[in-house]
Structure 1
Amino acid sequence: MQKPYDFLIVGAGFFGSICARELTNQGYSCLVVEKRDHIGGNCYTEKRDDIHLHVYGAHIFHTSNEKVWTWINQYAKFNHYTNRPIANYKGELFALPFNMWTFNQLWNVNTPAEAQQIIAEQGKDIQGEPQNLEEQAIKLVGKDIYEKLIKGYTAKQWMKDPKELPKEIIKRLPVRFTFDTNYFNDRYQGIPEGGYTQIFEKLLEGIEVRLGVDYLADKSTFNAMANKVIYTGPIDSYFNYQHGELEYKTTRFDHVKHDYPNHQGVAVMNYTEEEIPYTRIIEHKHFEFNETPSTWISYEYPEPYKADVTEPYYPVNDQVNNDLFQKYRSLANQEEQVFFGGRLGEYKYYDMHQIIDRALTMVNTFTKKSMNDSTTTGIQ
């Protein structure tokens, strides 16, 4: 029996929206269903008082992938914003990422050799390969920086002792022995002028989108509507948690308007002491260099994750969770109709540019042949 759609796409974030656009361009019919009441996933922005507010936290686009940069520029013009966050420890301000300015502020050193000597001395007790985040951090930047700028912030953010977290988390943070305060090393960086939501409006133009739809509540009915399903939600939720719940980091955002033009003078300020309950304050107008009489800020509060209650944001890729994910991956690979993609579907930390690349790669696997070939299944 002919089904109404070639593809059912679950989720209107970057992964799902890109798949919908590219598949539609290739002549496939797509239906997109989204549990939230808006498109854009966690990249969703709202215009408030001429300021584009990042509703689910700061999203700064950066990439060195020429293909991805060319692709995204079809849908938005990017400004020249460069991410230069500030760390606030009990009123002391430090430059991020860790660089010569940070070392100078902390130790009054002026040369890379002086900074490297202090770090080596402070990390000498870590013998062999670091076994967790705390050991890796001390090895990378020394005890002083770990105690002031990493320990409390990390404990708040992940709601775990840094000794319990995988060392790979801290490896994502740049450490530089130059006076370069640009957080990212990528060739291209910026914020889309006019916010992120416009990108999704263009991606989904002419495509049927149903908002406020809980796909998992009636999975079999929805699956019967299309030849193939692209699922971007939590993989454990899809399989009804039959092997147990995967762990995610989640965040609550408290958006506040102030009737003055400038609150903190920077887009991102991290609060690294554990006693302050929020991890950072975002001031959105600084992403787009707006001159406005008022300003919007967002406090970010870590929260315990509760499946089907709070939003999952970041996978906790420690050994226990990765082992559990492999069980779900095995189930996913047995699915003949359903393909899993994105941070939640693949239980993997992806930046926006990586998600774009993954989605474009998945779409390329769908040819007219693959529509009738069930050997390409599960997680690609």
Structure 2
Amino acid sequence: MRSLNDEAGNGPAVASPSHDGRAPAHGGRARFDYLIVGAGFAGSVLAERLARGLDKRVLLIDRRPHIGGNAYDHLNDDGLLIHRYGPHIFHTNSQQVVDYLSRFTGWRPYEHRVLAQAAGQLVPIPINRTTVNRLYGLDLDEAGVATFLKSKAEPVAEVRTSEDVVVGAVGRELYETFFRGYTRKQWGLDPSELDRSVTARVPTRTNDDDRYFGDKFQMMPLHGYTRMFEAMLDHPNITLALGSDHRTVAREVRYDRLIFTGPVDEYFDFRFGRLPYRSLRFRHETVDREWFQPVGVVNYPAEEVAHTRITEYKHLTGQSHPRTALTYEYPSAEGDPYYPVPKPENAALYRQYQALADATPGVHFVGRLATYRYYNMDQVVGQALALYGRLAEAEAKGGTGGGTRAAAERIAAIGGRSATEPVAL
């Protein structure tokens, strides 16, 4: 892994880039087979695969000063490992993804558990038997909980919105307790205005299973995500340029193909307008006590509480330390893009950009921002591996590898849903 300065020598000549993904052929500039924009999961996996698998020279750039994208973690001033951009919990049902990432990291077993502050107490979320019994002072068995929830549920003729999903499953009282306020804070919209996918991915259980996820593989990188990315990118064919804007770099180097993992609307200069996103603000702090809360994440659904959740990282990392690190999350309308807003008009706007992307030769659009989907981490890895498979196959046949839409469809089985289905927390 090299820096762009190592490649550039006394400094590259500057020439205007073209939007077909190929820089003009002027001398004196470093040359690469691929320019990859974005050093998160999608970009880093493709950089590693192209460098190691196809012996390609890759320039990997990111506007941030670090690798790892939103999964970036680091030691804070007190020596505690924290996630800069909020908690990232690895879970998957894909053996392929686990096998691939295991080349670059060991694992720490970890099953994520979340509690919610409700009615003056902490109860498990997703809703399970313990949640119901604690909230209502009952002692129901599984069958009793199923009957209870059925009695609370309100029939919905046509399930279209997030409100419909929850009210139709557990009734309005539990909807108000756990979902309405949290969703309004998280999205800045009422659940009745949001696509059903927002809450459809949160299960309701009648047993005592208090795990947030039910995936076959649930674990955390043994030494953190950043160490995993460092191992992934440790290859002489990979050159890094951090803190770099892709348009500037594209003028300063020569490259044959472009892989873009940033916002697709930004790539096309917001031709049809901006795709809406929700952002987050984070307040990180260290507390002078060994533990702060009983689980890694506690949710705060009440609208009068400004933050949506508090994360305590030692639960996730297994780190032993006399102090503990916390992150408070505050949803925001401004800032870095995190969550695509799942509304029909936004999906229609994205389809306009998707048509442009599909018609742009020599450029592959991959990852959350480039495809306007809130993929889980394992799905992004799967999408990147699928695209690499297409590129490798095309290389063997002397072709170009085609577009990324078909590659996205090939990862549907990884997360158990269609690659075109909107996903959000």
TM category, shorter: over 0.9
Cα deviation for residue 370 of structure 1 reads: 4.6
Q: In the TM superposition, what whole-angstrom CA distance separates every residue of 1:88-137 from its partner, at most 9, and x where no partner exists?
A: 1253211122111112112324123332333223323x332222111111
Q: Are 2:383 and 1:358 aligned? A: yes
Residue in 2 that maps onto 1:214: 245
Q: Distance in 2 between matches of 1:60 and 1:79?
A: 11
Q: Distance in 2 between matches of 1:34 and 1:247?
A: 22
Structure 1: gaps (5+ residues): none
User: Within 5 Å, which residues of 2 pair with 1:172-187?
Assistant: 172-187=201-216
TM-score, normalization by structure 1: 0.93
Q: Distance in 2 between matches of 1:117 and 1:235?
A: 47
CA RMSD across the alignment: 1.8
Comparing 336-345 and 113-122, the one that deviates more? 113-122
Q: Distance in 2 between matches of 1:57 and 1:340?
A: 25
Structure 2: gaps (5+ residues): 1-24, 408-425
| Counterpart pick for 2:71 among 37, 43, 49 | 43
User: Within 5 Å, which residues of 2 pair with 1:64-79?
Assistant: 64-79=93-108
Residue in 2 that maps onto 1:347: 372
Cα deviation for residue 159 of structure 1 reads: 1.0
DSSP 3-state at the match of 1:321: helix
TM-score, normalization by structure 2: 0.84
| Counterpart pick for 2:145 among 100, 106, 115 | 115
Q: Distance in 2 between matches of 1:370 and 1:344?
A: 26
Counterpart AA for 2:107:
F
Residue in 1 that maps onto 2:402: 376
Contact 2:181 2:301 in 1 (8 A): yes
Residue in 1 that maps onto 2:48: 21
Q: Are 2:263 and 1:234 aligned? A: yes
Q: Distance in 1 between matches of 2:380 and 2:38?
A: 13
Contact 1:97 1:174 in 2 (8 A): yes
Q: Distance in 1 between matches of 2:233 and 2:401?
A: 29
Counterpart AA for 2:38:
G
Cα deviation for residue 7 of structure 1 reads: 0.5
Residue in 1 that maps onto 2:21: none
Cα deviation for residue 56 of structure 1 reads: 0.4
Counterpart AA for 1:5:
F
| Counterpart pick for 1:59 among 75, 82, 88 | 88
Contact 1:336 1:378 in 2 (8 A): no
Residue in 1 that maps onto 2:15: none
Quote the sequence identity (%): 35
Comparing 256-265 and 157-166, the one that deviates more? 256-265
Q: Distance in 1 between matches of 2:228 and 2:171?
A: 42
Q: Distance in 2 between matches of 1:357 and 1:121?
A: 41
User: Within 5 Å, which residues of 2 pair with 1:314-325?
Assistant: 314-325=339-350
DSSP 3-state at the match of 2:34: strand
Q: In the TM superposition, what whole-angstrom CA distance separates every residue of 1:168-221 from its partner, at most 9, and x where no partner exists?
A: 1111112111111111111111111221100111111132100110114x3752
DSSP 3-state at the match of 1:87: strand
